Amino acid sequence: MLDDLARLTLLFDLYGALLTDKQRQVWALFYEEDLSLSEIGSELGISRQAVHDLLHRTEQTLCHYEEKLRLAARLKEERQKNEKIAALCREILAGKTQAAEEILALIAEED
């Protein structure tokens, strides 16, 4: 559950600007303001079910954007590559010169 929330939050950070104003508003009220579906419905003048459906469609939309654009996946890959480069740099500082060749190979993968 927490992993799903973290993933959805990342997707919202990446693709939130592509959502409608209503989707962003309901998302903020539910995930950021921690309001219940009923509270959101009362505030916006819509039913609890409408809020639920809108949140569900928003989550689907975010996942659809990720399937097409893969920004979160690429971000994760870049973070992993940067962590590996940092570890190899520490090895270089410790006197292991083979690590330098591995760094150059990682950088060449981007070309």
Task: Judge if 40 and 83 occupy the same domain.
Answer: no
Residue 44 vs residue 86, higher pLDDT: 44
- Print the domain residue range for 25: 2-69
Match 């760094």 to its residue by tokens.
103
Per-residue pLDDT of 73-91, as tens digits, reads 999 999 998 888 888 887 8
Task: Judge if 55 and 100 occupy the same domain.
Answer: no
CA distance 47 to 4: 25
Task: Judge if 84 and 60 occupy the same domain.
Answer: no
Task: Judge if 34 and 84 occupy the same domain.
Answer: no
Task: Judge if 35 and 13 occupy the same domain.
Answer: yes
Give the least confident one: 7-16, 26-35, 46-55, 91-100. 91-100
The number of domains in the chain is 2
pTM equals 0.78
Query: For the residues 8-26, what does the mean pLDDT come to?
Result: 97
CA distance 74 to 37: 33
Q: How far is CA 71 from CA 28, 63, 67, 95, 97, in A?
A: 21, 11, 9, 36, 33
Statement: residue 1 has pLDDT above 90: no
